[in-house]
Structure 1
Amino acid sequence: MTIWDWMKRRSKQQRKKQQQPRVADSYLDQAPEELLTSNLEETIQFVTDLLGSSEDFTLRRLHVFGEHPAVMFYMSNMNDKSTMNTDILKPLMYTPDHLVGKPIPLDKLRDILLYETLYFNKVASITKRSVLIEQILRGGTVVVVEGLSEAIGLDTAQVEKRAIQHPDTEQVIRGPREGFIEQLGTNISLLRYRLPTTDFHVKTMQIGRITKSKVAICYLKGIANDALVSEVEKRLSVIDIDGVLDVGYLEQYIEDNHHSPFPQTQNTERTDKAVANMLEGRVIILVDGSPFALIVPTVFSQFYQTAEDYSERYLMVSFIRVARLLALAFSLVTPSLYVAIISFNPELIPTEFAVAVSGGRAGVPFPSAVEVLIMEASMEVLREATIRLPQQIGGALSIVGVLVIGQAAVSAGFVSPITVVVIALTTIGSFATPAYNAALALRLLRFPLIFLAGMFGLYGVMVGLILIANHMLSLKSFGVPYITPLVPGSFQGMKDTLFRAPLWSMKKRPSMLHTPNDTRVGKQVFDALKEPPVNTLDPIKVGNRKEHMDHGISSPDHGDSSSGDSH
């Protein structure tokens, strides 16, 4: 055999290997086009061979109208038994009054069952074996009649679900109290309830070779850019994995930079937040089985904004946003600045404060960098333990960890009191960041900054911050620069970043989304705001009633007692 023949044989074997089924023993992938036959026993044998070993699989034989042999397939734990008995079995087994005593030809039986007998709004005719199996696996009911080459599928799935409640991960003081749940149909209905418009479109696809999870792409036609919607569909359509158990699986496949610590998609449990982003021109991705929604595209400023920011007046919200950004800065740079100043630039500390710091650090056996790293690692472990423990004891552990362990560490001389204060400020700052995944990125970046500060002092801190800023400038989310509207600059976008301008002044949608319709505030609003307010109930105009005495309308010189009434 020549080398050329060996290479051709090898290439042929590789192609044959690639053509093999991706999932072993998966009928739905191996034979998706096989058709049903009119032989009832053959269909029963086919279904029982695939599903008969499952305890919850049910096969119920019957005679349609007392004369046509038939069978009903369903999963017993995914259907309501009273509905099965009342709305399926009873109509099938009893002949309708207008057909009693009349012969029912076999070629008319299918139409009679679909349009005159079964009390279901979601009824479909099934011709393929793979569709029949999938209907059963998804909780539906399939009826097969002897002599008919088409089965009847009924959407009878009824799975227990939790009630709609306030999202635990996004608490607000003022705002709606409803959040997404695991059922996709319920989540879409929550969006539809807030968007009663024909422009609200939903596109669905199936992802996951085994789980076959239903994924929904929700957007507003005419507001969301069509190219963005197409790009979202394209990125989702190429995902080929065994299963999708949460929307986070999709997030890791569709983001632009897979190695960045910063999230390039935003997730939310809040329906009002999802709707608000759709009104700006973004796309929402939902997955059946996940209570979270993905928002794309995303910029960094969204991660320190909350849904409550738009329910309160702009002056109060702007102050709170500045506080959040200060907390964000504290959580990122405070430990590294402390290490740099203590180790390299103590002359920057005021004299009185330097004496107090040096006294607190007396007897500590570790350098400041090692000391801070030990405390940071301890806080991360404590935070993770608090999250994973049951709620009843998680709060107690956090209090014990912060008070008892911190005080014991200071008393034992392992750390200085000022270090405990620095770590406390850092931890509180990370808790003030609304988005958990963005706070997690900042927690991760603290450690390389501490290393740079311990080796190079303030120069190392500045180099680290420059590298972080450069990385953020290079990031994009579906083509949108991550630091928008700062870079590139946008005057309209600046109204909703560090400060929040009044709602009536934000008349345009974000320009970075290139929406077909960028106007969201009508011109008549500005005309109305230019007019002076009408004080309809001004006491000077309508009079006043006091102590059961009527006061008339005051005259212009009402301060002069001689010109008014005396009482």
Structure 2
Amino acid sequence: MSIFKWLNKFKKKRPAVQVPNSFSEQAGSANISGRLEETIASVTRILGGNDDLGIRRFHVFGKYPAVMFYYSTMTDQVMINADILKPFMYMPPHLEGKNIELNRLKDTLLNDSLFHSEVMTDSRIGKLVGGVLRGNTIVIVDGLTEAFIIGTRHIEQRAVDQPATEQVIRGPREGFVELLGTNIGLLRYRLQTADLRIQTMEIGRRTQSKVAICYMEGITNPELVKEVEKRLSGIDIDAILDSGYLEQFIEDNHLSPFPQVQYTERPDKVAANLLEGRVAIMVDGSPLALVVPTVFSQFYQTVEDYTERFLLMSAIRLARLVALVFSLVFPSLYVAIISFNPELIPTEFAVAVAGGRAGVPFPAIIEVLVIEISMEVLREATIRLPQQVGGALSIVGVLVVGQAAVAAGFASPITVVIIALTTIGSFATPAYNAALALRLLRFPLIVLAGIFGLYGVMIGLILIANHLLSLKSFGVPYLSPLVPGNYEGMKDVVIRGPLWWMNKRPSFLHPLDKTRLSEQTMEQLKQPPNNVLDPLKFKDPKE
């Protein structure tokens, strides 16, 4: 305890680190004075030194001196010339010959001259500089205490394409891109309702990244929206470059390997979660949207589960769950049985296993750990290499190296088969971050199995289950609706029930509108089908 007290005492004596001020803090809440040259000097002092900063002087209506600031790499030059510069310089035809006084100039420009819908005025230098940094154009007129901020942002973006990380067989092929405006448009295209609410805030002292909070008014619990806003507003960092930064700040348990925030680049998946009562968080510059709160069952569900018929997809989901269990416990069970309980193996199979391991000099735990680590290194190398080379590396690594390891007596054939099945099982888990957690937990389970046998495997699984039961995501138990049990929610856990079974929204989200499917539709489904084209109705009596 004395060491900890000494460390705390030392920490208190350390001087506080002064956080560098951003441009907005440098400018403070200073307002433009109305004197053009003084305002130009203030803006240039903050934005100066950039070759792509455009400064264009001109005269409004040929009379009042003015200046325009913009970044040429972030703006649409055609829009600036046609919709901004020309209306500022030339008086509207219906006002020609009239003398526009300075006190009427602002209203005249806004109401009669400008051909642009996205125009606002502000007197704070910090806001004007922020507008330029976001790709807008500011116009400052001599004698006016407010400047014009005009939306001219135009940044080259990649086309909306099929998501790379979430492949789908039956469903929409569109995925989010990096621009926040495009992503919100994709979301509004699927939720064409006035209940969709989007609130924005800026996070990051240096980047001033725009963050959008999306939810459904009348469905999402207001307390959940307030908690999301509270956690986001408490983040004070210099830069937010991706939504993954926010995920690490807003999750409940920061030391858990299991993800408590779901990310996706599919607009249809975000829309489906919003309709259940969840909240989506999108960041300008990131193609991945965050969805909160999250439960464990979401990580092995896919879009096809709901677009295909329930009988087929229930079987596929069961196969996916089997693969998930394989990826976690298969290597540890193999080590425990080989090392401690070989009598559990059938006699004929035990002879084959013993023959395969006859020339291997290592214990089972060392053999499995070496092959597992090799597979993880190979997997990481395949991901990081260029696409043209990655496929060849995986084939060489799996076939050549695996066969050579068996032939050299470094590993037994059964071990290679076990690790291959485990790797394939981890690939079957749709969510990459959940599969990564299971891959990480395989190693302590293998160590426990090598030390304590099947008892070690059970101890490890009990610890993992206990940890899962302790996790929460924004107050929602991680294993909901399994624990605590909920009959309505269990219709979509192990199997995917018919859509007409799931007529209520998830109760653990406490939505304001709990009904998803109307009673009229339920009654219609209970009626027998009308066989309008029954051959017996159209049969010719002569036949």
TM-score (norm 2): 0.96
1:149 maps to 145
In the TM superposition, 1:230-245 aligns within 5 A as 230-245=226-241
State the distance in 2 between where 1:49 and 1:416 align.
70
- In structure 1, which of residues 271, 277, 283 is the aligned counterpart of residue 273 of structure 2? 277
SS of equivalent to 2:537: helix
1:423 maps to 419
Give a deviation string over 1:320-356, Cα, whole Å, max 9, x none.
Answer: 0100000001100000000000000011111111110
Q: 1:13 deviation in Å? A: 11
Which stretches in structure 2 are left out of the alignment for 5+ residues? 1-11
2:9 maps to none
- In structure 1, which of residues 249, 253, 257 is the aligned counterpart of residue 249 of structure 2? 253
2:198 maps to 202
In the TM superposition, 1:112-511 aligns within 5 A as 112-511=108-507
Give a deviation string over 1:497-523, Cα, whole Å, max 9, x none.
Answer: 001110011111111011111100110
* 2:83 equivalent to 1:87: yes
Q: 1:32 deviation in Å? A: 2.5
Q: 1:21 deviation in Å? A: 5.9
Asked whether the equivalents of residues 96 and 117 of structure 1 are also in contact (C-alpha less than 8 Å), the reply is yes
* 2:73 equivalent to 1:77: yes
Asked whether the equivalents of residues 206 and 213 of structure 1 are also in contact (C-alpha less than 8 Å), the reply is yes
SS of equivalent to 1:219: strand
Equivalent AA in structure 2 for residue 153 of structure 1? I
State the distance in 1 between where 2:305 and 2:141 align.
60
State the distance in 2 between where 1:435 and 1:378 align.
22
SS of equivalent to 2:480: coil
Give a deviation string over 1:462-491, Cα, whole Å, max 9, x none.
Answer: 000000000000101111111111111000
Asked whether the equivalents of residues 206 and 215 of structure 1 are also in contact (C-alpha less than 8 Å), the reply is yes
In the TM superposition, 1:38-49 aligns within 5 A as 38-49=34-45
Cα RMSD between the aligned structures?
Answer: 1.6
For the structure 1 residues 121 and 445, does the alpha-carbon distance in structure 2 shift closer, same or farther, using more than 3 Å as the test? same
Q: 1:167 deviation in Å? A: 0.4
Per mean C-alpha deviation after superposition, the further-off stretch among 95-104 and 245-254 is: 95-104
1:101 maps to 97
Asked whether the equivalents of residues 21 and 30 of structure 1 are also in contact (C-alpha less than 8 Å), the reply is no
Asked whether the equivalents of residues 472 and 483 of structure 1 are also in contact (C-alpha less than 8 Å), the reply is yes
State the distance in 2 between where 1:61 and 1:468 align.
67
State the distance in 1 between where 2:175 and 2:73 align.
27
State the distance in 1 between where 2:283 and 2:257 align.
24
Q: 1:419 deviation in Å? A: 0.3
State the distance in 2 between where 1:125 and 1:51 align.
20
Give a deviation string over 1:151-173, Cα, whole Å, max 9, x none.
Answer: 11101111111111110111111
Sequence identity percentage: 66
Q: 1:30 deviation in Å? A: 3.4
1:556 maps to none
Give a deviation string over 1:406-447, Cα, whole Å, max 9, x none.
Answer: 001001110000000000000000000000000000000000
Count of equivalent residues: 534
State the distance in 2 between where 1:156 and 1:202 align.
22
Q: 1:527 deviation in Å? A: 1.1
Equivalent AA in structure 2 for residue 23 of structure 1? P
Q: 1:27 deviation in Å? A: 3.0
SS of equivalent to 2:109: helix
State the distance in 2 between where 1:399 and 1:430 align.
18
SS of equivalent to 2:40: helix
Equivalent AA in structure 2 for residue 369 of structure 1? I
* 2:515 equivalent to 1:519: yes
Give a deviation string over 1:184-221, Cα, whole Å, max 9, x none.
Answer: 11111111111111111111111111011111110001
Equivalent AA in structure 2 for residue 22 of structure 1? V
State the distance in 1 between where 2:13 and 2:446 align.
53
1:59 maps to 55
Equivalent AA in structure 1 for residue 335 of structure 2? V
Q: 1:148 deviation in Å? A: 1.1
State the distance in 2 between where 1:218 and 1:321 align.
29
SS of equivalent to 2:399: helix
1:559 maps to none
State the distance in 2 between where 1:95 and 1:301 align.
63
1:23 maps to 20
Which stretches in structure 1 are left out of the alignment for 5+ residues? 1-11, 544-551, 554-564
SS of equivalent to 2:73: helix
